[in-house]
Amino acid sequence: MKTQSAVSMDRSGGGELVAALPAIERLRRWVGGSFAPYLFISPFFVLFFAFGLYPLLYAFVLSFTKWHGAGTPEFIGLGNYTFLLTDSFFWGSIATSVILWLWIVPAQTLLSILVAALLSRPRPLQSFFRTVFLVPYLVPLVAIAQVWLILFDQNSGAVNQFLQLFAVPNIGWLTTEFWARATIALLVFWKGFGFAVLIMLAAIQAIPADIYEAAAIDGATGRSQFRYITVPLMRRTIAFFLVVSTLGVLQMFAEPYVLTAGGPYNATTTAGFALLSYTRNLDLGTGAANSFLLMIIVTIVALLMLKFLRAGDEV
């Protein structure tokens, strides 16, 4: 026979259980009737918080400190940011990225539109050429860079060997400032050209054929259709590619790392590659500040391009 205290404990415990059941039921209804979908996607959020959000927040806090990887970080406020904003190395890396952008993105955009327009119409070996343009994009970047090192070697590279047939002296493709930038720009252009053609080709094929038929009835030539129909209707796709390619150039790291290690004389030290120097010097606070300044610049550039896109839609 239960005592009075045991009966009271059973009653209180049962009351708490009964009170908890409606709360669980309300939560179940709020999430849509089942917890299973959220359990399935929970690994993504765990990995995101562990390897994405937490490192980002930690780096942000670290950017306000002076720390060399050991001991306690010393809080210095905006010292790292003010140093970088007056540092010639930081602005030199930004200038290098801008130069590479001018050499790569405009030409890549224009040529990819022209090639995509040619490939959009039935032609002999059309599927073959589509595949050929896409293959470089699928090859690992490091493998292509290693081939570039062999081809553009100053003493025994195939490019200089070929140029010598026309009495052209050896060119320091990777050892002189101008040609090192040009060689990296050529690599980035060639590797990403297939991706650009693929995007532009998809945009052209999405344009309704009725528009071209109506224009042809009105007497518009193929050139006029390309100028006044194809290109204007591709504006969104072109803007998307400009944003993606611009962000890629600003964050470029692997190409200068493999080909030139940022040289000669920091001529190929891009904004993304410049972060490596702070890691090597264990100047982690300044490196974190540099990464956030780069992120701010990338965000501003992306927003300006998106604003340009909206302005074009309003016209």
Residue-wise DSSP of 190-211: HHHHHHHHHHHHHHHHTS-HHH
* Predicted pLDDT at 299: 87
Going 120 to 126 to 128 to 133, the CA torsion angle's sign is negative
Q: Same structural domain for residues 53 and 121?
A: no
Q: Same structural domain for residues 13 and 35?
A: yes
The DSSP bridge partners found for residue 75 are: 65
pLDDT digits (tens, 9 = 90+) for 100-147: 999 999 999 999 999 998 888 776 776 777 778 788 888 888 888 999
Kindly report the CATH number assigned to the domain that includes residue 294: 1.10.3720.10
Instruction: Calculate the CA dihedral of residues 54, 56, 60, 63 and round it to 10 degrees.
Output: 110
> In the listed set 22, 47, 78, which residue is the last one of a domain according to the structure?
78
Reference 133, options 148, 119, 151, 152; nearest CA is: 119
Q: Same structural domain for residues 89 and 73?
A: no
Asked if residue 165 has pLDDT above 50, the reply is: yes
CA distance 271 to 80: 16
pLDDT > 70 fraction of the chain, expressed in percent and rounded = 86
Give the domain extent around 14.
Answer: 4-78
Q: Same structural domain for residues 193 and 136?
A: yes
* Predicted pLDDT at 18: 47
Write phi, then psi, for 280 (nearest 5 degrees). Answer: -65, -35
Average pLDDT for 85-106: 93
Asked if residue 148 has pLDDT above 60, the reply is: yes
* Predicted pLDDT at 11: 46
Q: Same structural domain for residues 146 and 274?
A: yes
Residue-wise DSSP of 10-63: HHHHHHHHHHHHHHHHHHHHHTTS-SHHHHHHHHHHHHHIIIIIHHHHHHHHHT
CA distance 310 to 184: 33
| 309 neighbors 236 (Cβ within 8 angstroms) | yes
Which H helix or E strand runs over 66? strand 65-66
| 49 neighbors 57 (Cβ within 8 angstroms) | no
> In the listed set 63, 78, 93, which residue is the last one of a domain according to the structure?
78
* Predicted pLDDT at 42: 82
* Predicted pLDDT at 309: 66
**Residue 151: pLDDT band by 50, 70, 90 thresholds?**
very high
| Mean pLDDT, rounded, of the chain | 84
pLDDT digits (tens, 9 = 90+) for 177-206: 999 999 999 999 999 998 999 899 989 988
Asked if residue 64 has pLDDT above 90, the reply is: yes
**How many domains does the structure of the chain reveal?**
2
CA-to-CA separations, 165 to 34, 148, 161, 179, 182, in angstroms, rounded: 73, 20, 7, 20, 22
Average pLDDT for 276-284: 87
Asked if residue 31 has pLDDT above 70, the reply is: no
Average pLDDT for 263-279: 89
Q: Same structural domain for residues 270 and 157?
A: yes
Identity of residue 105: V
Q: Same structural domain for residues 215 and 94?
A: yes
Region of poorest pLDDT, from 33-47, 209-223, 252-266: 33-47
Asked if residue 242 has pLDDT above 70, the reply is: yes
> In the listed set 78, 113, 130, which residue is the last one of a domain according to the structure?
78
Asked if residue 13 has pLDDT above 70, the reply is: no
Ramachandran category for residue 176: left, alpha or beta (phi over 0 → left; psi -120 to 50 → alpha): beta
CA distance 194 to 180: 23
* Predicted pLDDT at 239: 85
CA distance 174 to 148: 10
Q: What is the Cα 64 distance to its own chain's centre?
A: 26
| 62 neighbors 284 (Cβ within 8 angstroms) | yes
* Predicted pLDDT at 95: 94
Asked if residue 19 has pLDDT above 80, the reply is: no
Q: Same structural domain for residues 199 and 54?
A: no
Asked if residue 277 has pLDDT above 60, the reply is: yes
**Residue 16: pLDDT band by 50, 70, 90 thresholds?**
low
